């Protein structure tokens, strides 16, 4: 168990001591059995390793989102999701390497988004791996101001895309045309220097012909707003899992890790534009961000499971430590995570509430 500075239990691989009570005589009395719901998240592997960072970023951004959303007069119901994200996994229980807690499942939570993304990849990857010549397509529209975002996304992009699929459905059923299938996700970036938004679709398709049809039809649809061919992109998929991960970004890049590779080498540290994030999330509400078309996915039912555990420990998230600390002894931290000074600086100084 980590105390104060030094290596955390994950790095030392001693998480299996979690939940064991210590007494002065070294005796470990049996705890009252606790009902743990779900399968728990393995803290020793996968994306759970950077959860402290994700939790820290989400808490800070969510609190700022509340401020800007209140200023804009957003409804109480809408603002509630930001609070939910702020409180996500605030208190957790661990037992046998695994973490149990209440997940907010909101779109701004980077912990819940990482889980959702992993689930979607598990769902779609086996299907995409059977595709003969998968291609990655990006469909864009000209940059717009915030007030047009909702209408563009709903009336033009989502509906427009559906109409393209529908146009090809009947001829393909009659055997006279190409059947379009693939996986599409809606994403939006903010350009702080121009204060404009770039909503776009990422689409993973089984072959080049499908991708070319999508681009051709997209340009016809968007003729009146002058969508340019050069702004659309198609390329062969090199690695299906990586490109699927690229397809399923979940909303807005500003909520992804500001330490991501693409920022490396740039002189200026990235900023988090909270008001712009709120505009994007507000426009995306009640819209499906990731959707498949032209193929069926076998349904998998989630089992509601629970088990009794006597070997467990309670933790609460502490922003100073950027980690969960033990209820029994706050000098015990769960993951031993260290926030980099760069990210600490971004979260302290590079949050902008005005640009949008």
Binding site for Zn ion (CB under 5 A): 88, 103-104, 109, 111-112
Beta strands in the chain (DSSP E): 2-3, 34-37, 41-42, 91-95, 98-101, 135-140, 182-191, 196-205, 233-236, 251-252, 272-273, 290-293, 306-309, 313-318, 323-326, 332-333, 351-352
- Between residues 59 and 232, which has the closer beta carbon with respect to Zn ion? 59
Q: Cβ(139)–Cβ(220) under 8 Å?
A: no
Structure tokens at 45: 């592997």
CB of 47 to Zn ion, least distance (A): 13
CB of 110 to Zn ion, least distance (A): 8
Rounded Cα distance, 82 and 256, in Å: 17
CB of 104 to Zn ion, least distance (A): 4
- Between residues 85 and 214, which has the closer beta carbon with respect to Zn ion? 85
- Between residues 111 and 281, which has the closer beta carbon with respect to Zn ion? 111
CB of 57 to Zn ion, least distance (A): 12
- Between residues 82 and 293, which has the closer beta carbon with respect to Zn ion? 82
- Between residues 158 and 274, which has the closer beta carbon with respect to Zn ion? 274
Q: Cβ(100)–Cβ(36) under 8 Å?
A: yes
For 10, residues 6+ apart whose C-beta sits below 8 A from its C-beta are 43, 44, 49, 335, 336
CB of 277 to Zn ion, least distance (A): 16
């Amino acid at each position: 168990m980590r105390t104060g500075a030094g290596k955390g239990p994950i790095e030392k691989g001693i998480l299996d001591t979690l939940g064991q009570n210590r007494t002065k005589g070294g005796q470990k009395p049996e705890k009252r059995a606790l009902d743990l719901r779900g399968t728990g998240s393995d803290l020793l592997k996968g994306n759970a390793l950077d959860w402290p960072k994700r939790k820290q970023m989400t808490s800070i951004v969510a609190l700022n989102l509340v401020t800007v959303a209140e200023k804009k007069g957003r409804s109480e119901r809408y603002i509630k999701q930001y609070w939910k994200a702020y409180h996500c996994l605030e208190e957790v229980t661990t037992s046998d390497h695994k973490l149990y807690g209440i997940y907010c499942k909101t779109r701004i939570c980077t912990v819940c988004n990482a889980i959702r993304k992993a689930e979607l990849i598990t769902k779609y990857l086996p299907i995409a791996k059977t595709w003969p010549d998968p291609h990655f397509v990006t469909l864009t529209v000209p940059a717009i101001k915030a007030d047009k975002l909702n209408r563009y996304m709903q009336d033009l992009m989502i509906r427009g895309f559906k109409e393209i699929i529908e146009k090809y459905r009947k001829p393909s059923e009659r055997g006279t045309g190409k059947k379009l299938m693939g996986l599409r996700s809606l994403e939006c970036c903010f350009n702080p220097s121009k204060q404009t938004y770039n909503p776009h679709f990422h689409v993973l398709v089984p072959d080049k012909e499908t991708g070319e049809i999508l681009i051709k039809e997209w340009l016809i649809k968007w003729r009146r707003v002058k969508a340019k061919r050069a702004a659309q992109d198609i390329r062969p998929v090199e690695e299906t899992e990586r490109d699927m991960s690229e397809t399923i970004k979940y909303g807005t890049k500003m909520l992804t890790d500001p330490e991501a590779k693409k920022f490396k080498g740039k002189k200026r540290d990235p900023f988090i534009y909270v008001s712009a994030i709120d505009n994007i999330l507000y426009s995306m509400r009640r819209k499906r961000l990731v959707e498949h078309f032209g193929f069926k996915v076998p349904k998998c039912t989630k089992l509601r499971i629970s088990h009794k555990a006597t070997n467990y420990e309670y933790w609460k998230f502490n922003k100073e430590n950027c980690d969960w600390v033990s209820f029994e002894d706050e000098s015990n931290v769960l993951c031993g995570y260290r926030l980099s000074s760069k990210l600490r600086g971004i979260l302290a100084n590079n949050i902008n509430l005005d640009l949008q």
